[in-house]
Amino acid sequence: MKFAGTVENGTIASYGDDGVTQKATVKTGVASKSDAVIPSPVKLKPYRTFTEVEQPESSFIFRMKEDKYEGIQCALFEADGGAWKLHAMENIQEYLEEQLDNLPGFTIIS
């Protein structure tokens, strides 16, 4: 996100995309340029389940492109194939087991 926050409309001079990684040449001043590798994949823990439960970490692919009408566009694409759902269920089960440990009559199915 820090990388995306430093890019302004018109600052990307050129970029390459081989389908796996992206590389952008970023203008840093009037005459200087620097190459920056766009970080990908990135590990994030977005809120996807109950806030009391530890959020599952997932890989995301970060992509950037320059649209001639809308300027620079950034996007995150989920890259774990939905595995976060299994981790979320495990985390919910662990949370419920801890919270309901001393209460009889509860069976947790997960």
Q: What is the number of residues in the chain? A: 110
Domain ranges of the chain: 2-99
The model's pTM is 0.61
Omega prior to 41 cis, within 30 of 0 = yes
72-105 pLDDT, tens per residue?
A: 788 889 999 999 999 999 999 999 989 988 788 8
- With a cut of 90, say whether residue 110 has pLDDT above it: no
pLDDT (mean) for 51-60: 94
23-37 pLDDT, tens per residue?
A: 666 554 433 456 666
4 or 38, greater pLDDT: 38
